[in-house]
Structure 1
Amino acid sequence: MSISNFTRRTALALGAVGITLSTALPGAAQDVSFEGETIEWLIPFSAGGGSDTWARFLAPFLTKHLPGNPSVQVVNEPGGGSTKGANLFAARAEPDGLTILGTSGSTQFPYLLGDPRVRYDYADWTVVMATPTGGVVYTTPNTGVESADQIGKLEGQDLIYASQGATSLDLVPLLGFRLMGLDVRHVFGFQGRGDGRLAFERGEVNIDYQTSSAYLQNVQPLVDEGIAIPLFSWGALDDDGNIVRDPTFPDMPSYVEAYEMVNGEPPSGEEFEAYKAFFVAGFPAQKMTFLPEGTDQSIIDAYKQAFVDIQADPEFQETKGATIGDYQLATGDAAQTLYEQGTRVRPEVRQSVVDLLTSEYDVTLD
């Protein structure tokens, strides 16, 4: 479905579009029903990547738990490292509850770095759910690596990575590989991580990563066939803010462990602090769902409650691990906290990364 469908909602008219708002009692919260409606869940990435997999898994549960049981259709609008779709959402989405946006670190990072393509402001939107996630880095057996504990064999090799762009979520591997000391050539311009995986399958690149959902669905079969060799996960944060093993991949080394395998000591210093800042924004606070500016509180509350109900749904709990990983949906205050972590970075950290991108990768953010 084309994003041009946004244009059918040219005015805010809650009753006119078929959303029912009724007050059960004077002063009580309004009840919302989306019966007979279609919700468009805009994903600013190509099909097959982690964000697309995440949204398509959750969409039926959203249908089940939103009042009125509307159809929920995922709409892919890739381009500009996800800024194209986010810009369209900011410009055209009506505050009627019929359009929601799913963002990723690749949407957060251009915003954090002051990318001139960004014409959206996270402060204008309301977060209704956030999902921490992880990611797994893998290579091809053509590198001579047969298991994660042989990652040191990658030193000195000419590695090629298919990147969405230096200000996308692929900033995490860019900073991480560089800090680790691996010689990786980043080929910019891919439309999504799904496209990066396809480039890996075609043999055009020899190192890649996918977020947990896409890895479980699309890369694990490649691992089973011996086509891909998992190296490490980016990891997760413990209660003290330390990077530890990802609960979805407990048998896989974290980035910190992999770094130590290559360098003989754990990472430290200013470059590691910059890496960690964007890792936190990109993974523990990665995927979020938003309603546009001006949305009525009753609609916001309906969405928030729907995601609370999804979290409590036994079917969701039983099936999520194989598709999106062993992560819980963050709702309410927890979602707000992740939103704040994922859309803010210290100015000095931002500037250090901007300077690096300019000097080392000829990326200018003006």
Structure 2
Amino acid sequence: MTILRIAFVLPALLLAAHSATMADPVADFYRGRTITMIVSSAAGGGMDIHARMVAPVLADRLPGKPNIIVQNRPGAGGIVATNYLYNAAHKDGSVIAVIHPTIPFAPLFGEPKTSFEATKFNWIGRIDKSSHLCVAWHTAPVQKIADVMTKELIVGSTGPGSSMASFPYMMNRFFGAKFRVVTGYKGGNDIYLAMERGEVHGRCVLTLNALRSIHPDWLRDRKINILLQLAREPSDAPELKGVPTLYDFAKDDHQRAVMELMFANQELERPVVAPPGVPADRVAALREALREALADPKLQAEVAQRKMTLNYASGEAVARVVERAYAAPKSVVATAVESMRPTE
């Protein structure tokens, strides 16, 4: 090889060797690291089951293939976990969360225990979307939604910021319903046990997918009566045939606008979120990894075996839902806030 040729080839070889040794900065950060996925509910509920199925697949799709551990932080209907994520969690992409879908809107609705700005979170995406329901135990005094206008229905809730409380309160104010809300349960499973023990008569809100997965016997053996779909449009699920929607009861356009604002949380079922301040390249990697994870055939088969579903939405789409809610007319927000206050 001539000296002139070596003079041209050697720099190119050195550059190639240098490029090969340069690590992907995102992969370099995640390689060998343990990521914490916080779940804002107690262990064993539908949200927790979804998170634990998704976590290992998400880890495999992230550059660097980190380990992901799931950590439950229940409390105040999801506010405890969300406050922690915003204020105390590391803001480097090593902590993410799956939170209650109502929590992003809690500050908008005046929940005093919140200490976060929902529009500043880094939204990674949505795991699922499902029909939200009000149900009553088969021995409850209320057997259909019309009964709750004349008979008291005691329902369980995790906390004042949860839709398990806000929807019953709204129906009490708008329609004269007679829901009584008992708060303080750590998670959905605790409310299910309370229903079986007779401590409460039922629950608003829960998803059809959670019932199919956790208590298929309740549906099969008619241990519950499904009173209402908390939605604008009825689901085509066979279990919900003939079950009215909350939207059917709206008396005017203003009430319908309030309901649509409150239904926004259904677009965020099982939202995955990172705190503000996470570097943009790591947010992008988390978003892409979640998209790929939810498209994984093995995960889809496992979810289907549990009679649950996956319904992906991008982090950008989730962010738009949150931003749109915070841009709602003040009069609609004010009515929503008033309607969700305790009525007992």
Q: TM-score, normalised by structure 2?
A: 0.80
* Alignment of 1:78 onto 2:60: no
CA distance in 1, matches of 2:220, 2:129: 26
Match of 1:331 among 314, 318, 321: 314
Q: 1:75 to 1:254 in 2, by over 3 A?
A: farther
Report the AA paired with residue 182 of structure 1: A
Q: 1:57 to 1:285 in 2, by over 3 A?
A: same
The share of aligned pairs that are identical, in percent, is 23
* Alignment of 1:233 onto 2:217: no
Report the AA paired with residue 230 of structure 1: I
CA distance in 2, matches of 1:50, 1:343: 27
- List gaps (5 residues or longer) in structure 1: 1-22, 236-242
CA distance in 1, matches of 2:102, 2:185: 12
Match of 1:205 among 178, 197, 200: 200
CA drift at 1:42: 0.9
User: 2:260 maps to what in 1?
Assistant: 276
What secondary structure, in the 3-state scheme, does the structure 2 residue paired with 1:113 have?
coil
* Alignment of 1:300 onto 2:289: no
> Does structure 2 conserve the Cα–Cα contact (< 8 Å) formed by 1:104 and 1:169?
no
CA distance in 2, matches of 1:287, 1:324: 16
CA drift at 1:222: 2.4
User: 1:91 maps to what in 2?
Assistant: 87
Q: 1:276 to 1:89 in 2, by over 3 A?
A: same
* Alignment of 1:44 onto 2:40: yes
User: 2:134 maps to what in 1?
Assistant: 137
What secondary structure, in the 3-state scheme, does the structure 1 residue paired with 2:214 have?
helix
CA distance in 2, matches of 1:77, 1:177: 30
* Alignment of 1:291 onto 2:287: no
Report the AA paired with residue 277 of structure 1: L
Report the AA paired with residue 187 of structure 1: V
* Alignment of 1:245 onto 2:249: no
CA drift at 1:60: 2.4
Structure 1 or 2: more helix by fraction: 2
Q: 1:136 to 1:266 in 2, by over 3 A?
A: closer
Q: 1:313 to 1:356 in 2, by over 3 A?
A: closer
Q: Which moved more, 1:89-98 or 1:338-347?
A: 338-347
- Bigger Rg, which one: 2
What secondary structure, in the 3-state scheme, does the structure 2 residue paired with 1:94 have?
coil
> Does structure 2 conserve the Cα–Cα contact (< 8 Å) formed by 1:112 and 1:343?
yes
CA distance in 2, matches of 1:113, 1:88: 20
1:122-158 residue CA offsets vs partner (Å, 9 max, x unmatched): 2332111124333232212213777xxx544554222
Report the AA paired with residue 337 of structure 1: R
User: 2:337 maps to what in 1?
Assistant: 354
What secondary structure, in the 3-state scheme, does the structure 2 residue paired with 1:78 have?
coil
Aligned residues: 322
> Does structure 1 conserve the Cα–Cα contact (< 8 Å) formed by 2:209 and 2:309?
no
CA RMSD, 1 decimal: 3.2
> Does structure 2 conserve the Cα–Cα contact (< 8 Å) formed by 1:109 and 1:169?
no
